[in-house]
């Protein structure tokens, strides 16, 4: 729900968006079932202990063995699911490789364990692998002073700063990160099962997200770059506060329009679907609605902070983890509009950044 949009209107829009896509396959009925998408291409689900209760993983069959696409979280339940899948399906041929679309824990959290358990190599892009290594070297411990400054400059109230920082403690999903990999680059072709899978890079949600596309059969393994019913987080973080990830995200969505509109899209969450170009248009429209809400807000107010803008984009009570995500999302939109010279940002020493309208044309 955005700004003054009613809950009923928001729900109807989401329902209409879902209805505009086709869902040709039933989801796996259990976590250890493979659903055939095409010859040698299979879909499974690995459970996750959170509101988003699964990750879709894909298994590609080759004459040499099986390639796994994404891994699930570093949990005992995920390990048990992979062991059962291996017992059911992978006895006649070995596992021969793990491909991670990006570094996020639900996608790469078990990469190291799978490499050791099945003696297989890891394939990732440079940007994703070394972001993962940076997390490993720090133990994923945040620089609390850097995070506190980031939140303060966004205009976050002191009590909420402490709530947000308080969520960072012992990470139950912290993986054992792998110490080597095979690099994937834009345009690389992986020959698997008689198909050529081209690496298509997306940005914005993560640094160098790899999608896999088979042009001959119009098959796209999209990871988090294209999801059917939610929009992936596009955040500005304390590590790179001047970044413009939303521009990179929207540019990536535009590049994906070069792929067949009739593609079968295999996302990391939700259902396998058809209607790639329709969904890309929906995702772009989502952010333009947010731009419009922020622009209207800016036109009718004086100077405002990112925290003020966040409460316009996300007008509901938020838990600390949701505050963290919402402020990062809000900053991504503000940085985009600032770079586009729609709004102006004012920076002063020791006080929060503020913004005001410059132009109401953002397209």
Kindly list the domain boundaries of the chain, sorted by start residue: 7-139+170-288
Strand 209-214 relative to strand 219-223, pairing: antiparallel
pLDDT at 361: 57
Q: Which helix (H) or strand (E) holds 102?
A: none
Residue pLDDT, tens place only, 252-264:
999 999 999 999 9
Burial class (CB in 10 A: 0-12, 13-18, 19+), 347: exposed
206 or 15, greater pLDDT: 206
d(CA 61, CA 193): 6
First to last CA, the chain: 22
Least Cα distance to 239 among 140, 337, 352 occurs for: 140
Q: Which helix (H) or strand (E) holds 350?
A: none
What is the fold, at CATH topology level, of the domain defined by 7-139+170-288? Metallo-beta-lactamase; Chain A (3.60.15)
d(CA 90, CA 339): 50
d(CA 139, CA 145): 17
Residue pLDDT, tens place only, 316-345:
999 999 999 999 999 999 999 999 999 999
Residue pLDDT, tens place only, 65-108:
999 999 999 999 999 999 999 999 999 999 999 999 999 999 99
Residue pLDDT, tens place only, 34-50:
999 999 999 999 999 98
pLDDT at 1: 46
Residues of the chain above pLDDT 70, percent: 95
Residue pLDDT, tens place only, 149-200:
999 999 999 999 999 998 876 677 878 889 999 999 999 999 999 999 999 9
pTM over 0.85: yes
What lies within 8 Å, CB to CB, of 27 at 6+ separation is: 35, 45, 271
Q: Can you state the angle between helices 76-89 and 111-118, rounded to 10 degrees?
A: 40
Edge-to-edge strand ranges of the sheet holding 66-69:
35-38, 41-47, 54-61, 66-69, 95-99, 122-125, 182-184
DSSP state of 233: P
The yes-or-no verdict on residue 61 having pLDDT over 60 is yes
Q: Residue 29 CB: number of other CB atoms within 10 A?
A: 8
């Amino acid at each position: 729900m955005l700004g003054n949009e009613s809950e009923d209107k928001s729900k109807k829009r989401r329902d209409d968006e879902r209805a505009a896509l086709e869902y040709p396959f039933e989801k796996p009925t259990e976590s250890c079932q493979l659903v055939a998408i095409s010859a040698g291409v299979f879909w499974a689900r690995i459970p996750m202990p959170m509101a988003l209760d699964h990750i879709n993983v894909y298994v590609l069959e080759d004459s040499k063995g099986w390639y796994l696409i994404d891994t699930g979280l570093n949990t005992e339940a995920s390990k048990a699911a992979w062991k059962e899948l291996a017992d059911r399906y992978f006895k006649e041929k070995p596992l021969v490789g793990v491909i991670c679309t990006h570094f996020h824990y639900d996608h790469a959290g078990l990469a190291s364990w799978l490499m050791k358990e099945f003696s297989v190599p890891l394939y990732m892009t440079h940007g994703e692998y070394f972001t993962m290594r940076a997390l490993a070297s720090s133990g994923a411990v945040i620089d609390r002073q850097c995070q506190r400054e980031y939140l303060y400059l966004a205009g976050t109230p002191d009590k909420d700063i402490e709530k947000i920082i308080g969520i960072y403690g012992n990470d139950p999903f912290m993986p054992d990160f792998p110490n080597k990999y095979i690099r994937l680059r834009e345009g690389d072709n992986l020959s698997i099962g008689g198909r050529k899978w081209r690496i298509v890079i997306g940005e914005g949600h993560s640094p160098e997200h790899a999608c896999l596309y088979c042009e001959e059969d119009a098959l796209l393994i999209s990871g988090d770059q294209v999801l059917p019913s939610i929009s992936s987080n596009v955040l500005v973080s304390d590590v790179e506060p001047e970044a413009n990830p939303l521009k990179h995200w929207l540019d990536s969505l535009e590049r994906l329009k070069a792929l067949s509109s009739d593609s079968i899209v295999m996302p990391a969450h939700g259902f396998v679907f058809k209607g790639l170009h329709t969904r890309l248009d929906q995702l772009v429209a989502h952010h333009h609605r947010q731009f419009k809400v922020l622009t209207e807000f800016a036109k009718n107010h004086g100077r405002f902070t990112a925290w003020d803008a966040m409460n316009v984009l996300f007008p509901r009570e938020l838990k600390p983890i949701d505050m963290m995500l919402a402020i990062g999302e809000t900053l991504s939109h503000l940085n985009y509009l600032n770079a586009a010279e729609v709004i102006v940002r004012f920076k002063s020493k020791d006080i929060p950044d503020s913004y005001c309208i410059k132009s109401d044309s953002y397209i």
